[in-house]
Amino acid sequence: MKPVATYSKPPELYDGLRLHQNEQTGGCSPRVLEALARLRADQISVYPPYSTALAACAADLGLTEDRLVLVNGMDEGILALAVSYLQRGLDGAAAEVVIPQPAFEVFEVNADLMSARVVAVPPRPDFAFALEEVLAAITPRTRAVILTNPNNPTGVSVPLAAIRQIARAVPPSAIVLVDEAYIHFGGETFVPELEAYPQVVVGRTFSKAYGLAGLRIGLLAGHPETLLPMRRVVPVYSINVAAAVAIVAALDDREYVKDYVRQVTESRALFYDACRRWGVHYWPSAANFVLARTGDRTARVLERALERGIYLRDRSNEPGCAGCVRVTTGLVEHTRRAIAAMEEVLCAAP
């Protein structure tokens, strides 16, 4: 029997500087804490209303509310997609899901859950989006194409023109998911094009730019009919009242996100400079992390960083990522600490 894909959750490391899961290491906006503190006992004892949260998200994205589904983190959105779109056909044939590599591991885990066939499109050496290869992988059995823009773990963007071409190439019953978990840091959103491309669904999370990973909230945006099968999977009260209140406050504090994005931009530049100094190859990133090829020094880099209380992510086992480490480049102060720790290994030896 084929081995089952399972997600290997990173160990629970919370004592040091977490630069391995691309969270906002500076925390959420203080306005979120104020909003949570204002929650009353009688708001917690009842099933939560979502109208205010939905209105805030709709206004933020410039969409009507019928084009949104709130989910308990994008992870739940991905699960809902798998459950609704990756079922076996009536003839018993497995659904096919096209996933350009390297990719966020959860996609494959959920596809496997549905016994779908993952059509993994290998990466190009520079991680430029492999459009022709993705188009060639689409068949009449394709039920979903899953893209992440900008991609995780590479930070490389997917051109909007490529997404349009893929959307036109999939069978009518298929869906194209554009996971925009990191779109705030430099990518170009597909949201304004959803009207023209009803087969595309955009996924967003409040875990990265907004610093709400602990509250678990994200959303799916797309045509109401395309969303319907996924809406049916998501439990009616999947979003808790704290998350519903928090996103309204988070969306309201534009300056907080703007400052974080500014720091990410500065952090990436600092990290690129360091890589050039070390002679380490890196991929220019549109996200809040950078992938760098530390080669045979990767294990020592990870170890030294850990000794300094800094967690980095080993991505060596991902397709095309041999000898690569992924470093969250968030607050400048934290990026400087990561660079200092890595420098101890990377400057010492050729």
Contact residues: ligand PLP, CB under 6 A: 73-75, 104, 148, 152, 179, 181, 205, 207, 213, 218
- Closest alpha carbon to 247 in 215, 277, 280, 272: 215
| Maximum Cα interatomic distance, the chain, rounded to a whole number of Å | 63
Q: Of 75 and 108, which has the nearer Cβ to ligand PLP? A: 75
- Closest alpha carbon to 190 in 170, 229, 161: 161
Rounded to the nearest whole angstrom, what is the least distance from the CB of residue 349 to ligand PLP in the complex?
A: 32
Q: Of 29 and 205, which has the nearer Cβ to ligand PLP? A: 205
69: helix, coil or strand? strand
Q: Of 50 and 278, which has the nearer Cβ to ligand PLP? A: 50
d(CA 331, CA 266): 9
Q: Of 150 and 274, which has the nearer Cβ to ligand PLP? A: 150
Task: Give the nearest residue (CB) to ligand PLP.
Answer: 73
Is residue 319 within 8 A of residue 123, CB to CB? The reply is yes
Rounded to the nearest whole angstrom, what is the least distance from the CB of residue 208 to ligand PLP in the complex?
A: 6
Q: Of 201 and 346, which has the nearer Cβ to ligand PLP? A: 201
Compute CA distances 175 → 111, 129, 218, 274, 316, whole Å: 14, 19, 19, 41, 30
Q: What values do phi and psi take at 22, rounded to 5?
A: 60, 25
Rounded to the nearest whole angstrom, what is the least distance from the CB of residue 46 to ligand PLP in the complex?
A: 25
d(CA 143, CA 146): 10
Residue 282 structure tokens: 């890196």
d(CA 250, CA 272): 30
Q: Are strands 200-205 and 175-179 parallel, antiparallel or unpaired?
A: parallel
Q: Of 121 and 274, which has the nearer Cβ to ligand PLP? A: 121
